[in-house]
Amino acid sequence: MAMKILDNCIDCGACEPECPNQAIEPGDGIYVIDPERCSECVGAFETPQCVEHCPVDECIVADPAFQETREQLERRYAQLHPA
């Protein structure tokens, strides 16, 4: 699953520089994650770094609209970071 930022986002931007895939951008009052670039940090970190650095509880959650296997997430990370 890609992660999703909910509308309790305070627009602080703490998550943006922590994403290894440059998947996070400022949106209209809240930050937004591009599901085509989010690998849930698979390939780079053990846990989603946006969640780790977000100061708001329950702000960044797994998006059930984007169900993906670990293999799919690994493939995405590899495609985004060619050797």
Interface ranges with ligand SF4 (CB under 6 A) = 3, 18-21, 23-24, 33, 38-41, 48-50
Angle at 20 between CA 16 and CA 21, to 5 degrees: 85
Closest approach of ligand SF4 to the CB of residue 29, in Å: 18
Cβ–Cβ < 8 Å for 60, 4: yes
Judged by CB, which is closer to ligand SF4: 38, or 59?
A: 38
What 3-state DSSP class applies to 60? strand
Minimum CB separation of residue 83 from ligand SF4 in Å reads 19
Q: Which is nearer to ligand SF4, 20 or 75 (CB)?
A: 20
